[in-house]
Amino acid sequence: MDRLLQFLLKTFIRRGTFRVTTSRGTVLTFGDGTGQPVSVRFNSRAAEWAILLDPELKFGEAYMDGSFVVEQGTIADVLAIALGQQTEVPYWARPQFWLRYTYRRLAQFNPRKRSRQNVAHHYDLDGRLYSLFLDADRQYSCAYFEYPEQSLDDAQLAKKRHLAAKLRLGPDAIKPDQGEVRLLDIGCGWGGLGLYLAELGKADVTGVTLSQEQHGIANARAAEKGLSQRARFNLQDYRDINAKFDRIVSVGMFEHVGVNHYDTFFRKAEQLLKYDGVMVLHSIGRSEGPGITNPWISKYIFPGGYIPSLSEVQKRIEKTKLLVTDIEILRLHYAETLKAWRERFLAHREEVERIYDQRFVRMWEFYLAASEMSFREQNMMVFQIQLTKRQDVVPITRDYIMAEEKRLREAEAKRQTPLRLAGE
């Protein structure tokens, strides 16, 4: 077994310094000797076989169960080396990749009942968990870092401001006789973005989520801020909405739609958006062609989820009467967001262990580290697509985005709402 490990890992790990202690005690070294050394140990032969036969699934499981241990460095360092090689999937595991690609539509079949179950699996966890590592506003999506070393709370506020600017909610974008702007937030989370758009964007907000936990917290926050008349959050599937809206925004929800349902999503958006309306879609994406959801992520973190390529999304938009008026690619912003989440999570690991157990802590540490390194070392990014039904709804240059962000910053400064630290 040791010889097989040495042969296969030698062909895969060409960069970095990676030391492996096998279950028999043999020490093997791989890579080109660069970077900080990382050392790992297998505690059983079964773990060695499992990772070799199905690395995309069994690697995470072995770390969760303690049969794969990091002795020098962290699991994030290990994943940085693994995902920083020339290929993400070892050549001997590629047949499994193509098999999973063949069945990806079945894995992403998300009718209403299954969508609710998938959302509950991740978002209806103990509410204390998310308060330990997210920012004060519970933004569970990519932040927008305007400069290096910006705090997570400020970067998440910048993300909301950036989205609001693209939604065209400023006084120069609203007709005098239009009245209050009706805005739909598809996948509203804990309500942070919707409340921002209601308070500072002066919009009449309807948010929808399938998470009971998020639904309750979002409405409680609206009541606490005195915004219940202008910000309502419903426990509802977006496919069951029938009203018309001036603005539509969706952040971090499209990853749960599934490739089978993209046509449904954009046709519904076309139906809900008014003729002179604006929509902004914010989603994780991949910079290359269509792929699959990592099987470990699909099994333990986001069942039914899928990160689309930009070509898959654009192809579905073209089937509707929606027009793409702006596309922005955020590259390393999510890597920095996930790094901040991972550091905060690990700072509270004892509290998480009291809520759940050690296995859960290792599972979430692996999830956050693997996600971060996918953005830092691989082809993951975030796209923001602005959509309209008419060519003249938004200005022909992007200057209006910076101008509106400036106006919103001034409004935020007047509000002077104190921020709390995560976990307080």
Distance CA 169, CA 277 (A): 11
Contact 321, 389 (CB under 8 A): yes
**% the chain with pLDDT above 90:** 76
Assign 173 to helix, strand or coil.
coil
Q: Which residues of 366-386 are buried (b: 16+ CB within 10 A; e: fewer)?
A: bbbbbbbbbbbbeebbbbbbb
Q: Where are the domains of the chain?
A: 2-102, 112-415
Q: Select the CATH number that applies to the domain covering 112-415 from these four: 3.40.309.10, 3.40.50.300, 3.40.50.150, 3.40.640.10.
A: 3.40.50.150
Strands 380-388 and 323-330: antiparallel
Contact residues for 347 (Cβ-Cβ < 8 A; gap 6+): none
pLDDT of the residue at 92: 65
Contact residues for 228 (Cβ-Cβ < 8 A; gap 6+): 219, 222
Distance CA 119, CA 252 (A): 12
Mean pLDDT value across the chain: 91
pLDDT of the residue at 122: 79
pLDDT beneath 50: ranges in the chain:
419-424
pLDDT of the residue at 423: 46
pTM over 0.85: yes
Place of tokens 């409405």: 219
For the segment 197-231, what is each residue's pLDDT rounded down to a tens digit? 999 999 999 999 999 999 999 999 999 999 999 99
User: Please, is 29 exposed, middle or buried when counting C-beta atoms within 10 Å of its C-beta (0-12, 13-18, 19+)?
Assistant: middle
Assign 320 to helix, strand or coil.
coil
Contact 137, 200 (CB under 8 A): no
Assign 279 to helix, strand or coil.
strand
